[in-house]
A and B are shown apart, each in its own frame.
Chain A
């Protein structure tokens, strides 16, 4: 099966600019996650979707971050405006819905550098 696809692979922007990341999950995976991973730390959940509905966005900085999954498949994560502390790897993951034993399948991530 094809894995989780993410783009771009790398992005360098200046602070106060905007950036968008794209994710295409594994076919049939209704649950999609966006995680932020800062160097030396574990992934931190930003937002979780089931189909096109938000399940959890409690840790999403909503003043600057937004995410959508309009048709319940692809998703985009946007940062506007970016801050220096947003420099991190943004990981998209997907899993089967309704199955707690279903592991997360991760994409290769987008490495964001904010200067």
Chain B
């Protein structure tokens, strides 16, 4: 089976940097995704990692260590609109995606 852990809540200040961690235990691994979900809306894709290392995409970066079962999402130059839930999801066997419960990020002025 799959087990995915993320912190429940985080708070950060506008303009700052925040790192959201995700640890996972899976029976099969075909990549790790990060999604952003604003309240009342559907999740939207942010990043994908399948090899170890850092993937950078504008203000957002995502890191993966397969040997440690660990990933993080790094958000730089935080903006108020970044207040949302951030979901870590692992793609396992047969393309099945299993989600963590999400980290609710609150950005304060």
Contact = CB atoms under 8 A, between A and B. Distances in A.
Q: Do A and B bind each other?
A: yes
Interface of A: 31, 33, 35, 40-45, 48, 50, 55-56, 91, 95, 97-98, 100-101, 103-109
A25 B87 CA distance: 21
A57 B35 CA distance: 23
A48 B93 CA distance: 12
Interface residues of B toward A: which range? 20 to 34
Contacts of A43: 43, 87, 99
Interface in B22-44: 30-31, 33, 35, 41-44
Q: Which of B48, B89, B97 has the most CB of A within 10 A?
A: B97
Nearest to B1: A58
A107 B42 contact: yes
A36 to B, nearest CB: 11
Contact of A56 (B31, B43, B94, B101): B94
A103 B33 contact: yes
